[in-house]
Amino acid sequence: MRDTAPDIRWVIVTTDINTTGEESDGTPSATRIQSVARAVKLIRLAAETPDGVHAEMARKHLGVSLATAYHLLNTLAQEGMLDKRDRRYHLGPTAGLIADAYGRQESTPPHLLQPLARLARELGETATLCLWRNGAVAEVAVFEGSKPLQVGGRTGGLQEDLHARASGKLLLATLTDRELDRYIAVHPLVARTPNTITDIGALRRELRLTRERGWAMEYEECDNGVACLATSVTANHIAGSAAYTIGAPAWRLTENQKDYLTALTRAAAEASAG
């Protein structure tokens, strides 16, 4: 939030619904290459560390020997994924090429952005477009409102702790019981706040309610003082399913929930029709 309230930002992570080494049809999935996984973790660490990553930091992050950390860092630097400066490793030019290509690939059609921008102006609250990709929720567009105290968003972020988020509940509500069990086996129901749902039975009831009514809500379940509403958007022309989300101070969303939900569903219907 701005002004006196803390600025709420979402952590960049990836999540994967298929977590048991099987594809959705029960067949074995591709073998996981440990060195590749470690390299990806280092690239992500460099992306999240503005001052750069040093070898000791990489060693602790991966739980490997210092020599292995150096080998991984130097290999990534040789391939241009990292750039070594003053004994620290930063993102390199190859990472920039990949980021640019990803941005071009994920360009959002205007008819999805226009209703979202109008929604933010109408309500004066932060409005976000999220895409669902392989079990992850990615924020691809954020329009901040005009009212004092705003919930902050960040495009490109992949959300963690989906059970605690309105957009995440929409995703989880599409899973079968078996798929949900797989997800929870690797992504425990962490209590981000005292309001977070951490009981599997309670979560199943919440997801059943979400499916029945067609929209999701979280009230101080992800961040203290923040509440969100989310509903699905039909967007067959872009990869994955999509959702519109409204984020606001919890007290303000509670006072205006009926009007906010009406405006949200109207905007989502407009975007889906486009």
For 183-207, the pLDDT digits (tens) are: 888 889 999 999 999 999 999 999 9
Question: What are 104-140's pLDDT values in tens digits?
Answer: 555 667 778 899 999 999 999 999 998 876 666 788 8
* Domain 108-273: CATH architecture, name and number where available: 2-Layer Sandwich (3.30)
Question: What are 3-23's pLDDT values in tens digits?
Answer: 333 333 332 223 333 433 444
Between the alpha carbon of residue 139 and those of residues 23, 29, 128, 130, the distances in Å are 26, 27, 7, 4
- CATH code, 34-102: 1.10.10.10
d(CA 93, CA 79): 9
Question: What are 221-235's pLDDT values in tens digits?
Answer: 999 999 999 999 876
Phi/psi at 199 (5° precision): -100, 130
| Structural tokens at position 84 | 């070594």
DSSP states of 77-96: HHTTSEEEETTEEEE-HHHH
Interval 52-57 mean pLDDT: 94
Domain positions in the chain are: 34-102, 108-273
pLDDT of residue 15: 32
DSSP states of 169-230: HHHHTTS-HHHHHHHHHHS----SSTTS---HHHHHHHHHHHHHHSEEEEESSSSTTEEEEE
Taking the complete model, does pTM exceed 0.75, yes or no? no
